[in-house]
Structure 1
Amino acid sequence: MVSGDRARSPAKKTPVARNISADDMLIRSWLHNRSDNTRDAYERDARAFLTFTGKLLEEVVLADLQSWFDSLECADATRRRKLAAVKSLLSFGARLGMLRADVGAAFRMERGHDTLHERILTQEEVASMIDGEDDPRKRAFLRVLYVMGLRLREACGLVWRSMTRRQQGGIASIHGKGGKTRSVLVPAKLWKELVALRVDSRPDAPVVPGHDGGPLHAKAADRIVKRAAKRAGLSPAVSAHWLRHACASHAQDRGAPPHVVQATLGHASLATTTRYSHVREGDGAGKYLDQ
């Protein structure tokens, strides 16, 4: 340094102002640590509600929520899901003190008709979907959805690091909804089928890869299911979740204890699992009372 010169201090960076509204902050906090699918769907619902009202969340009143709900032109189940998302946001904001009151708490509606039975495939229909698939990779994917009862993204994200060999088949460690991890049995027949597909020995290799050997993307996985259903002559509405429904239903029909099915599918409540129980042909309470 030349005598008399002073060392210049690093220029201070001017902080960039970021205009984040209170509503944005609340929505971000509300969505924190939720799964990608849930976060995307919930944020769409919340933003649509705000667009409809043209108000800030702190200005919303019960009549706004009721008017928005009445304006929704979609299936009843979808309307209820959207309402549940917005009510959750309003409740969360009130608990944090960011909203003066939980206006959604006063919104009451009758319980909808349970149409789950309309989305449960028969064992013959599932067999037709799987047996009609000639591609071993795609057939194995259909069997993973059905036999293991996995959600679509759980099946797509399954890697060999999560698979543990057992004397008969194996165990898969599934990181599922709500950040919960559960162990799912992989029967011996399915395990052999999956091992036969394996070409990548790395621990993080996908159990059922895409056509390029990489992870199977959700959209491609959905197409596998849709095309299998179409070949079997089934409804275009059939999705991967229908195979999960079928897993729960058929397992209980064959005598699986509800708590075992609950653990396999990762249901938070046993009540959810027992919805899949059916009255078996020729059986019912009346049979034991009509003497």
Structure 2
Amino acid sequence: MIGTELQIIQPERTEIAGSDAERLPTIHTTARRDDELVSVWLKSHAGGSRHTLRAYDRIGRRFIAAIEKAGTNLRRATIDDVQTALEDMRVREDGSPAAAATVNTQVAAIKALLGFAHQVGYTTFNVGPLIKLKKAPRKLAQRIMPEVEIQLLIRATADSRHPERDRALFETAYYGGLRVSELASLTWDQVISRETGEAQLAVIGKGDKDRHVLIPTEVHEHLKAIRNGAPVSALVFGIKEREINLLIKRTAKRAGVNEAASAHWFRHAHASHALDNGAPISLVSQTLGHADLKTTSVYTHAKPNESSSRYLKR
């Protein structure tokens, strides 16, 4: 498509002479507008996960809108213009301040977009390196619900509009440790019955990496109860990511637990409770699809079982 393509331009001379910039191939784009550049940028990440692409698309286009609001565009933007646009994005659409972690995600994506724009010759200067990420405070401990609250949340689905579906959804989120995107995209052909009565979930996670997760027999039975003859290609829950999180918040309010709960809180709880109950950290990491054990180890720091404070006299 014209205006959204990348081209590799070969140098006129192939012999080694002059600076590297004169003799190495360069990458250019035919994009002429900022929105076209965002489309090219997204194409360059075509191998990434659907979740990442959606986030990049949303962040990139909001940034372009903020740049336009500042009265300029990417090609003319100064560091002051970029900072003004970033400040505009620190506020949600409803006027409330965005979480620090959300802001950092946006800044990291915008730095990548600015670097890409310069790399492909769309801009003459990359202001990305001048933008610094602020370390967001980790609030993991506050997001780990006790086991009793998880069970209260699951039981509260009995009063929802779709009690059987919602119970199966919450149980799959907790016992499978699935991300909200994995819950929303789960299809029946990914639910594999095991001779033990358990179910094996063939999950497609971040970066389209697949992993296999076992869920208990009781949860499997609850899943089978909601299928109602649906084809293997059908979605198991038939509910979008945003709707899943809204459902959890409504149910949390009825259950009398933290209304800030989201699908990811089930995942946090899975990791923390499994480790507390003696599961090997390597197994928890494998179940959650973490690429590095360091990611899983944050749960051991969030709820330490030992502290030097116990050795101080009282």
* TM-score, normalised by the number of residues in structure 1: 0.80
* TM-score, normalised by the number of residues in structure 2: 0.75
SS in 2 for 1:184: strand
Distance 1:24 1:279, change over 3 A: closer
Q: CA deviation at 1:130?
A: 0.5
CA displacement, residues 100-153 of structure 1 (integer Å, 9 cap, x when unaligned): 332111222441221222222111111110022212221111111111111223
Question: Structure 2 CA distance, aligned partners of 1:217 and 1:191?
Answer: 21
Other-structure match for 2:71 = 54
Other-structure match for 2:125 = 101
Structure 1 residue 189 corresponds to structure 2 residue 218: yes
Question: Structure 1 CA distance, aligned partners of 2:106 and 2:66?
Answer: 9
CA contact (8 A) 2:42 2:56 kept: yes
Q: CA deviation at 1:256?
A: 2.3
Structure 1 residue 64 corresponds to structure 2 residue 81: yes
Pairing partner for 1:83 from 89, 98, 107: 107
One-letter amino acid of the counterpart of residue 151, structure 1: R
Q: CA-atom RMSD, angstroms?
A: 3.0
Structure 1 residue 133 corresponds to structure 2 residue 144: no
SS in 2 for 1:171: strand
Structure 1 residue 120 corresponds to structure 2 residue 144: yes
One-letter amino acid of the counterpart of residue 174, structure 1: V
Mean Cα deviation higher: 276-285 or 124-133: 276-285
Q: Larger C-alpha radius of gyration, 1 or 2?
A: 1
Mean Cα deviation higher: 75-84 or 125-134: 75-84
SS in 2 for 1:147: helix
Question: Structure 2 CA distance, aligned partners of 1:111 and 1:90?
Answer: 21
SS in 2 for 1:83: helix
SS in 1 for 2:137: coil
Q: CA deviation at 1:201?
A: 4.9
Other-structure match for 2:12 = none
CA contact (8 A) 1:45 1:85 kept: no
Q: CA deviation at 1:20?
A: 6.1
Runs of 4+ in 1 over 4 A off after TM superposition: 16-20, 279-282, 285-290
Distance 1:61 1:266, change over 3 A: farther
Structure 2 unaligned blocks of 5 or more = 5-29, 92-96
CA contact (8 A) 2:202 2:210 kept: yes
Question: Structure 1 CA distance, aligned partners of 2:285 and 2:69?
Answer: 39
CA displacement, residues 221-278 of structure 1 (integer Å, 9 cap, x when unaligned): 3343122201111233222122122122222222223332222222333332222224
Structure 1 unaligned blocks of 5 or more = 1-15, 209-214
Pairing partner for 1:230 from 245, 253, 276: 253
Aligned residue pair count: 270
CA displacement, residues 179-207 of structure 1 (integer Å, 9 cap, x when unaligned): 22222222222112212322115211333
